Structures are given as C-alpha cells and as structure tokens.
C-alpha cells in the first residue's frame, strides 16, 4: 500500500505543502482536498494516491473506504546545478531542485488506537500559578 515517485522536478519545500495537506486524512477526503488545491504538484499527488490505492486493491484486496493516508513524505532529490551570466563576466549559480515523494496508506483501525494513546497524556505546568 505504498507508492513512490522519484526525481519529481519541483523543490521539496513546495511539494511538502500538499503532503502536509493530505497526511492523516481518509483517502476520499485527501482526493477531494487535492482536487481543489491550487498547486502545480496537486495532479502528481493525485496520480500517486491512485497508484497506492491500486496497490492496496490488487495486492491486499482492501476496501478503499477503510484506508487513510498513513504517511506522506517529500525528501530532497538530486540538484541540477546551472549558472546564469552576471555583471562583468561572473557567473551566478542556479539550483534546480528535485523531490522524492512517498505515500503510504494504512487501515483506519490502527490510526484510531494511536490517537487515543496521545489523548491520555497529561501536561503538568512547570511552575505554580498564584491567584491575585
């Protein structure tokens, strides 16, 4: 239930915006969010999400309504280094960055149990608060 795209020609900083948008959502909610996202990488994320869904159906015979986006990560790929001519014959470097995008789907049941464990923890104040 994984899908991977290597050397996507967009900087990781811009692609992470959409990864943060879909992480932890149900698959259908993530698809709706990507449909209306006004970003260059939205169709690429949609295609990658469909690929992960197809892997879940084909290899594991899992119903898509039970799946959530367990993790969506964007890592830096190779950097193409170019140069731009500048004043008095000098050269200025241009870095054309690429990204590796990784999406993993998981079942809804496991995500609920993890969320309950986080809610149980209590936060204690570091110092006493006195009322005046």
Confidence of residue 108 (pLDDT cuts 50, 70, 90): confident
Decide if 34 contacts 28 (C-beta within 8 A): no
pTM: 0.77
Span of 45-54, 78-87, 120-129 with lowest mean pLDDT: 120-129
Tens-digit pLDDT profile for residues 44-60: 999 999 999 999 999 98
Hey, what domains does the chain have and what are their CATH numbers?
A: 2-120 (3.90.470.10)
- Look at residues 111, 101, 99, 114 and name the one whose alpha carbon lies nearest to residue 27: 111
pLDDT at 112 over 50: no
Helical (H) or strand (E) element with 3: strand 2-8
pLDDT for res 114: 46
């Amino acid at each position: 239930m994984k899908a991977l795209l290597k050397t996507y020609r967009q900087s990781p900083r811009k692609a992470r915006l959409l990864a943060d948008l879909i992480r932890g959502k149900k698959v259908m909610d993530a698809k709706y969010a990507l449909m209306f996202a006004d970003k260059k990488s939205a169709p690429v994320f949609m295609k990658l999400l469909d690929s992960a869904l197809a892997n879940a159906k084909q290899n594991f015979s899992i119903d898509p309504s039970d799946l959530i986006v367990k993790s969506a990560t964007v890592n830096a790929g190779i950097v193409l280094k170019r140069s731009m001519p500048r004043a008095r014959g000098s050269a200025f470097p241009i870095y054309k960055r690429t990204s590796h995008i990784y999406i993993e789907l998981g079942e809804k049941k496991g995500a609920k149990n993890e969320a309950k464990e986080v809610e149980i923890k209590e936060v204690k104040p570091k110092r006493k608060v006195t009322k005046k």
